[in-house]
Amino acid sequence: MEDQLLGIKNAAMSLILDSKDQKELEEVMLQFLGRSGQLTLALKELPKLPIEKRAEVGTLANDVKKTVEEAIDRKRAELSHQKVEEKKAKIDITNPGILPPLGHLHLITQAIAEISEIFAQIGFTRVRYPEVEWDWYAFEALNFPDNHPARDDWETFFIKTEPNPKKGPMILTPHTSSGQIREMERKQKPPIRMLNIAKCYRRQSDVSHTPMFHQFEGLVVDEGISITHLKGTLDYFAKSYFGENRRTRIRPYQFQFTEPSFEVDVTCGVCNGKARLPSLRSGVSGQGCRLCKEGWLEMGGAGMVHPNVLKAGGIDPEKYTGFAFGWGVERVLMMKEGIEIDDLRLLYSNKIDFLEQF
At 136-181, the pLDDT tens digits run 999 999 988 788 877 877 788 999 999 999 999 999 999 999 999 9
Yes or no: is domain 107-355 CATH 3.30.930.10? yes
Instruction: Give the whole-angstrom CA distance, residue 25 versus residue 315.
Output: 67
Burial class (CB in 10 A: 0-12, 13-18, 19+), 291: buried
Measured CA to CA in angstroms, residue 97 lies from 24, 91, 92, 94, 297 at distances of 30, 11, 11, 9, 48
What pLDDT was estimated at residue 284? 47
Query: Which residues of the chain carry a pLDDT beneath 70?
Result: 1, 85-89, 269, 278-286, 291, 337-340
Q: Residue 39: which region, alpha, beta or left (left: phi > 0; alpha: psi -120 to 50)?
A: alpha
Domain ranges of the chain: 2-90, 107-355
- Residue 213 in contact with residue 176, Cβ under 8 Å? no
pTM, rounded to two decimals: 0.65
What pLDDT was estimated at residue 285? 57
What pLDDT was estimated at residue 286? 63
Q: Name which of 128, 140, 199 is nearest 169 in CA terms.
A: 140
What pLDDT was estimated at residue 89? 65
According to DSSP, residue 201 is labeled E
Phi, psi dihedrals of residue 193, rounded to the nearest 5°? -135, 90
Query: Burial letters for 299-329: b for 16+ Cβ neighbours within 10 Å, e otherwise?
Result: bbbbbbbbbebbebbebebeebbbbbbbbbb
